[in-house]
Every structure is written in structure tokens, then in C-alpha cells.
Amino acid sequence: MGDETILVVDDDPQIVRLLKEYLQQEGYQVLTAHNGQEALHSLHGARPDLLLLDLGLPDRDGWDVTRTIREDRRVATIPIIMLTARIEESDKIIGLELGADDYIAKPFNTREVVARVRAVLRRQHWDKEEPLPVLLRSGGMQLDVDRHSFSIDGELIDLTPTEFKLIRTLMESPGATFHREELLERALGYGYEGQGRTLDSHIKNLRHKIEPDPGEPRIILTVYGVGYRFDGDV
């Protein structure tokens, strides 16, 4: 932690005020917005380190805002944690597949929010503080740790921070089978007890971006009953 800036986006002034107070107590700088347009404006102007984004905004819902961010290379790598009163599992999966890094249901414990924020930012720091290996290659795939970029046959593929961490973790140990819990811990920064569907959603989204046929994956293989394995021979 240090001078990180968090952008809190929610149309409920009480929630915004509460999160701002708790985050500031933890030493974070906090910006606020109350709708999607304000959020996108602040995002491009201030370039915060993380976005806490409510799903049910009055003008553009959190899904739309997330989609817009992930399609804009200037801000595409900023981590997003969704906040929502909707508890349907399908809503959670949609958010993660659009590129959200985490998902917290309302009503939430503010300490949990702070812990999730800290974990996601810690993951970002780990990426910056580990200079070697600079490049990971496999077949036509190349992952550049220093530039935080991933390409296939020279074509850049836009990955969310979580997707980048997942493929990096897998590529660092080609052929090794990762237990689901181990992959969650190493790639997401902390344990996700009971959050197997979260990992599955990120893997599904990653496969859609890098697999020739996501329905018949050849790069990220499922080891049934165990976890996942990266096939470095593709």
C-alpha cells in the first residue's frame, strides 16, 4: 500500500461515504462518482489504481461500464471489483466474464471490501516487482511481464489483470497441473473458499480470447476433479 487511488462508483451516497471513510482510514486516496458517465470521465482523467463499481447505476449499468473499460486500451488493465445487491449466480458470472476481477454482494462488510481491495492491489504490485522472467513463450504465444502484454502470432490480445495473472501462472509451469485452490491462491492473490465458479468464469473468458476453438480447448486443459494445466506444446 502507498499512494494508491481508488475510484468508488455507486448511486447511494451513504455507501459512497462509508467506503470512502474506511478506505481513507487504510491510507488510500479515494475518488467518487455516482453514475457510469462520471466514472468513465474520472477514470480517464485520474487513472486510479482500482475501481469499486456498483452494478445498478442509474444511467449505465456496471456491466456496460466494465465492457467499455475493457475495450479501451488506455484503461483496460485497471482492476475492477463489482458491488451489487443482486445475488443471482448468473449475474456474477456475467460480470466476471466481462472482465471484472472480483465481485462483492451487498450488504457487505466494509472490512471484507478493504481486504479484497488490498489483495487485488497486492497482485498488481507482485507483477511489477517480479522482473524475471521478462518473456514467456510457447508456440506462437508470448507473454511480456515487463510490458504486461500478451500476444499470439504477433497480435496483441487484451487481457484483464486477472486473466493476465492466470495465463502467466500457467505458462510459468507448462505441463504442471494446478489444483483449483492453488491456482486461485497464486493467480488471484488470496484464498477463495467456495469460489470455484469464479475461477471457472475467468478460465472460460480466457479461453475465448486465446483458444482457436474455446469449445475444444488445447491450450488450457481441464484436469477433471483436480484443476487446470497449460499445454506448452501447442
The average confidence (pLDDT) of the chain is 84
* Claim to verify: residue 117 and residue 225 sit in the same structural domain: no
Residue, of 176 and 181, whose pLDDT is higher: 176
Co-location of 123 and 141 in the same domain: no
| More confident position, 65 or 189 | 65
Indicate whether 44 and 142 sit together in one domain. no
**Final residue before a domain boundary, out of 127, 148, 176:** 127
**Same domain flag for 89 and 35:** yes
- Which domain range does residue 177 map to? 131-230
Whether residue 116 is found in the same domain as residue 14: yes
Whether the Cβ atoms of residue 146 and residue 134 lie closer than 8 Å to each other: yes
Based on the fold, state whether residues 67 and 95 are members of the same structural domain: yes
> What pLDDT is attached to residue 190?
52
162 and 220 in a single domain? The answer is: yes
Residue 201 and residue 109 share a domain: no
Mean pLDDT of 71-78: 86
Cα angle 4-8-12, degrees, rounded to a multiple of 5: 160
Which residues have a Cβ under 8 Å from the Cβ of 119 and sit 6 or more positions away?
Answer: 188, 189, 190
Which residue, 127, 144, 176, sits at the end of a domain? Answer: 127
List the grid coordinates of 107.
450488504
Q: Identify the CATH number of the domain in which residue 194 sits.
A: 1.10.10.10
Checking if the pLDDT of 234 tops 60, the result is: no
Q: Are the C-beta atoms of residues 180 and 223 closer than 8 Å to each other?
A: no
Among residues 94, 127, 160, the one where a domain terminates is: 127
Same-domain check for residues 222 and 108: no
Judgement on whether residues 100 and 52 belong to the same structural domain of the protein: yes
- Looking at the structure of the chain, the number of domains it has is 2
pTM of the model: 0.62
Same domain, 42 and 105: yes
CATH number at residue 44: 3.40.50.2300
C-alpha–C-alpha distance, residues 16 and 22, integer Å: 10
What lies within 8 Å, CB to CB, of 188 at 6+ separation is 102, 119, 123, 162, 165, 198, 199
pLDDT tier at 128 (50, 70, 90 boundaries)? low
Q: Are residues 56 and 16 in the same domain?
A: yes
Question: pLDDT class for 148, splitting at 50, 70, 90?
Answer: confident
